[in-house]
């Protein structure tokens, strides 16, 4: 059943659009874990090979989000304005852009793979395994990632169930193919890479079919009209930059954070943080899923000049995810070992992680506010403000704090730095939300 983003009940819309987004993100996270579990059973060094090449895959994802989220947000607004022609032009441009950028990225990485490996610090013991894996991932970039890019638009026009079904089937296909190529055929990391590319290509085929063959879709893809337009490219890039920054700065911050933890606390502390990030991954997927569910409602109604509905969606989502985050935080403060024991039974690690998690996750409710604030700013064509919030959280605050607090608090200063960075960036996000609500109300009243 088609959803009327401009008239249907907002709580009902938010529920119906968020659930599929949450489900698809959780399933994708599970398949990533299974993928590594299969490789780990065959070759422990294979896990190192996958992990050490992760920055290259993050770079692929950065361009995917730059174009995918940038175009999807704009398409949602144009859809709300009932400017179908412009929306379809943006969709066609995003298709061509992702093909061009991923092709260039693949060629550059293939040519300079050895210098890139030296930069990443790939050791001789995993060099060949890393090449076996990443070369297949790179070659499969265009057929594999094109669908994930355009799938953002499937969600942005209110077809979140379709988006979810495609991602879930792809993830299940990946798990089955992992078992076949990695375990049965004993292809190791090559098998994992082949399984990933095939399952991703399935997404591309289904998403293209959705936009080309489905007559009920309000925004169609017309291959005979695919032509790059400078204005469209500029708009897509500007609106997608915040997500691009998030991927790039997030990777840099992760590297810096890990180095501080290793230098000040050692391997045990890094193991603790790895457990904590694994626990919070599933929760943040829920938060991001709800924010993704809110995006098409906010964007559509902003484009349709129904600002009161955009404001109501923002308020409802903010309150909802803040309360959920607070409940989860309280639960983790009181019963930390309940989740930590899933990952380890080693007493010293269990005790250490239980102490760290109580500090590390203090900013969790503010991460939720940051998530909906950045989503709202992008959905209402304010990429610069959204970029500021992303930069604040992904390095702008954390890196300076890392050079200050550990001097006085040792390794615990690293964890307080992370918590304070989340809290401060969340408070700034809340200020942005408040200002935008007042601005939209003034426009609406006028």
User: Which residues touch 390 (CB under 8 Å, ≥6 apart)?
Assistant: 242, 243, 245, 246, 249, 374
pLDDT at 446: 46
Predicted local confidence at residue 298, as pLDDT: 87
Secondary structure element (H or E) that encloses residue 363, with its range: none
For the stretch 74-131, pLDDT in tens is: 888 888 888 888 888 888 888 999 999 999 999 999 999 999 888 777 778 778 888 9
Q: Is 413 left (phi over 0), alpha (psi -120 to 50) or beta?
A: alpha
The residue extents of the domains of the chain are 10-228, 254-445
pLDDT of residue 194: 94
**Phi (first) and psi of residue 125, to 5 degrees:** -65, -25
Q: How much is the pLDDT for 20? A: 76
Task: Give the residue carrying structure tokens 């179908």.
Answer: 84
Long-range residue pairs from 226-233, CB within 8 A, at least 24 positions apart, any chain: 226/92, 226/93, 226/95, 226/96, 227/92, 227/93, 227/96, 228/93, 228/96, 228/97, 229/89, 229/93, 232/89, 232/90, 232/93, 233/93, 233/97
> Which 3 state secondary structure label does DSSP give 243?
helix
Is pTM beyond 0.95? Reply is no
Q: Which DSSP symbol is given to 219? A: S
**Predicted pLDDT at 160:** 77
CA atoms within 13 A on the CB side of 378: 37
Please identify every stretch of the chain with a pLDDT value under 70, giving residue numbers as ranges. Answer: 1-3, 28-29, 31-33, 36-37, 40-41, 44, 47-48, 51, 225-226, 267, 274, 278, 343-344, 443-446
């Amino acid at each position: 059943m088609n959803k009327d983003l401009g008239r249907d009940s907002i709580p009902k819309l938010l529920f119906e659009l968020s659930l599929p987004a949450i489900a698809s993100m959780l399933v994708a996270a599970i398949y990533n874990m299974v993928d590594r579990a299969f490789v780990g059973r065959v070759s422990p060094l294979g896990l190192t090979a996958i992990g050490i090449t992760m920055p290259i895959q993050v770079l692929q994802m950065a361009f995917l989000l730059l174009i995918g989220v940038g175009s999807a947000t704009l398409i949602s607004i144009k859809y709300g304005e009932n400017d179908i022609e412009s929306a379809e032009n943006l969709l066609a441009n995003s298709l061509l852009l992702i093909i061009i950028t991923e092709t260039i990225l693949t060629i550059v990485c293939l040519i300079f793979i050895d210098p890139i490996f030296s930069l990443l610090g790939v050791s001789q013991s995993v060099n060949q395994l890393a090449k076996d894996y990443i070369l297949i991932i790179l070659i499969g970039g265009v057929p594999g990632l094109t669908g994930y890019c355009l799938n953002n638009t499937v969600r942005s026009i209110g077809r979140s169930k379709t988006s979810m079904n495609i991602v879930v089937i792809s993830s299940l296909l990946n798990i089955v193919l992992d078992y076949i190529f990695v375990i049965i055929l004993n292809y190791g990391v090559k098998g994992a890479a082949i399984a990933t590319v095939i399952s991703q290509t399935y997404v591309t085929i289904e998403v293209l079919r959705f936009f080309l063959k489905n007559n009920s879709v309000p925004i169609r893809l017309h291959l005979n009209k695919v032509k790059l337009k400078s204005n469209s490219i500029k708009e897509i890039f500007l609106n997608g930059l915040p997500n691009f920054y998030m991927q790039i700065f997030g990777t840099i911050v992760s590297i810096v954070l890990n180095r501080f933890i290793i230098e000040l606390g050692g391997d045990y502390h890094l193991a603790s943080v790895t457990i904590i990030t694994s626990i919070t991954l599933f929760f943040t997927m829920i938060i991001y899923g709800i924010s993704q569910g809110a995006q098409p409602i906010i964007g559509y109604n902003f484009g349709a000049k129904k600002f009161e509905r955009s404001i109501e969606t923002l308020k409802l989502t903010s309150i909802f995810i803040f309360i959920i985050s607070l409940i989860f935080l309280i639960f983790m403060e009181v019963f930390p070992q309940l989740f930590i024991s899933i990952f380890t039974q080693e007493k010293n690690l269990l005790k250490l992680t239980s102490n760290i998690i109580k500090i590390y996750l203090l900013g969790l409710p503010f991460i939720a506010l940051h998530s909906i604030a950045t989503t709202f700013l992008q959905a209402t064509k304010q990429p610069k403000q959204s970029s500021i919030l992303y930069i604040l959280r992904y390095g702008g605050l954390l890196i300076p704090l890392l050079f200050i607090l550990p001097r006085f608090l040792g390794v615990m200063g690293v964890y307080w730095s992370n918590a304070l960075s989340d809290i401060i960036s969340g408070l700034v996000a809340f200020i942005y939300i408040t200002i935008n609500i007042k601005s939209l109300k003034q426009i609406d009243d006028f």
